[in-house]
Amino acid sequence: MNLEHICQKLVILPSAEKLVQAILALEEKTRLNTIALMWSCWEARNKANAREKKREASEVAYIARALVSDIDNITPELKKCNSRRQKRWNPPPSELLKINIDGAFFEDHKNGGWGFIVRDHDGSAILAGAGKLTVVHDAMCAEA
């Protein structure tokens, strides 16, 4: 993905805020590749922490490239859909990002899931993620 120079710049930043600012300043394609690679690394680390099979670096990169490809293929369709939808989301001021989160709870199995999306003032997705919750006692716990 040829992002080594980007990773070297990002890893030395002193805070998450500076990291996000640096990523947002990247050219659009580089930004998307960087976010996809970060997500793929994060997912691989979580799977390793859960004692699932560790992924090789080549697998992590492949998953990131596949994610970017999927996004590239979906984007034109989403732009068409977004132009027809009523706007219900309230954007943040231009200097801030907005994070929307949600949780799910499955009472039968006492498990659930979570998800989030970070968007800028234009509504463009900056970062998103989702995961499983293996032990959840109720809906309030999943939302928390």
pLDDT at position 80, please? Answer: 64
Q: Tens digits of per-residue pLDDT, 34-66?
A: 999 999 998 888 888 888 889 999 999 999 999
Q: What is the pLDDT of residue 71?
A: 79
Query: In the prediction, which pLDDT does 91 show?
Result: 86
Range 114-120, long-range pairs (CB < 8 A, 24+ positions): 114/142, 119/89, 119/91, 119/92, 120/24, 120/91, 120/92, 120/94
> Rounded to two decimals, what is the model's pTM?
0.55
β-bridge partners, 99:
118
pLDDT value at position 10? 92
pLDDT at 123: 86
Residues with Cβ within 8 Å of 32's Cβ and at least 6 positions away in sequence, in order, are 68, 71
Per-residue pLDDT tens over the stretch 68-121:
888 777 766 665 665 555 557 788 898 999 998 888 888 888 888 898 999 999
Confidence check: pLDDT of 26 > 90: yes
pLDDT for residue 23: 92
Q: What residues pair up with 119 in beta bridges, in sequence order?
A: 98, 125
